[in-house]
Amino acid sequence: MPLSRVWRTAWITPRGELLAPPRMTATAARLVVQVCLVVYLWRGLYAQTETNAGLDKTQAVSYAVLAVLASRIRGLDRRAGRDTIVEHLHFGTIVYWFLRPLPPHRYYALRALGDQLYGFIWVLAGYALCLVSGVVTTPASIEVAAVFVVSLLLGQLVLHYVMLLVDLLCFWTLRNDAAVLILVFAQNLLSGVYAPLWFFPDWFITLSAFMPFQATLSVPLSIYVGRIPVSDSYAQMGIQVTWIVALAALTRWLWYRAGQRVVAQGG
C-alpha cells in the first residue's frame, strides 16, 4: 500500500479537527481545566501528610496529571464524521468496508493510528507545559524515560484492541452505546485514571490484574513516577505484550466472522 494512501487514510479524522478551530479551542480549555483540578485536588490531599501509599506529593501529582494528558490520546470523536462501525451498520454503508481493496481491519487500524498520533501531539504539548511550570517531575533517569515510552506505546496498543473488540460487537448487537459507556467507566477505574490503583483494597488490585485495563495506563505511569522499578518493569511489559497478542488474535477472528455476516445485494 503506497505511503501516501496510508497517510491520507490515517489523517482523515485529525484533518477534520484541524479544520474546526472551535473544537481545538474547546479541547485546550478542557485540558487546562482538568489539569488544574487534579493538581489542586492532589495537593490538597497531601496537605497534611508527606507520603501516602508509598508516594510523595510530587509523584502523586505527576501521576494524576499524566493520566489526564494520556486521556487525550484517544480523545477524537469520529461520530461527527459518521465513520464509526455502529453508524455504518445503522446506515448500511459498512458493506463498502468489505468491498474496497483495503481490508476493513487495516482501514480501522490506520484510522486509529491517525487518531493516536494526533492525540500524542496534544499530550506532548501539555507535557512540555507541565514540565516548564513544575507541575510534573522529570523521570528519574534516561532508562526510566525509555522504558516508560515503550510501556506507554504498548498500553495504547492494548487499549486499541479493547476498543476494537467493543466496536466489533456491533456486528452481532447492532448497537454498542451501553457497552461503550461500561468500557469507558471500567477503563478509567481499572486503569488508574480516577486514582492510582494502589489506593484501592488488595482484592480490587488483584481483580484488576486479571483484566487488560491495568496494562493500558497504570503500568506505564507507575514506571514513570517510580512506583514500579525498572527491574520489575520488563515483566509488566511482558504482560502487556501477552494482552496485545491475545486480543489481536481474537479481534482478527471476529473480523473474519463479521465479514461472513455482511451481505452485498445488487452488486
Domain parsing of the chain, residue ranges = 3-261
Supply the pLDDT for residue 75. Answer: 61
Which amino acid is present at 208? S
Q: How far apart are the first and last CA of the chain?
A: 25
Whole-number mean pLDDT of the chain? 86
Each residue's pLDDT tens digit, 126-182: 999 999 998 999 998 999 999 999 999 999 999 999 989 988 988 888 777 777 788
Tell me the DSSP string of 94-117. THHHHHSSS-HHHHHHHHHHHHHH
Asked whether 168 and 248 are in contact (CB, 8 A), the reply is no
CA 211/CA 267 separation, integer angstroms: 43
Grid cell for residue 209: 490484574
Question: Taking Cα atoms as reference points, which of 194, 224, 227, 229 lies closest to residue 62?
Answer: 224
pTM equals 0.89
CA 238/CA 220 separation, integer angstroms: 13
Each residue's pLDDT tens digit, 242-253: 999 999 999 999
Q: Where are the alpha helices (DSSP H) in the chain?
A: 3-10, 12-18, 21-45, 57-70, 85-91, 95-99, 104-133, 142-168, 170-173, 177-190, 202-209, 213-216, 218-225, 230-261
Asked whether 192 and 67 are in contact (CB, 8 A), the reply is yes
DSSP lists the bridge partners of residue 56 as: 51
CA 106/CA 103 separation, integer angstroms: 5
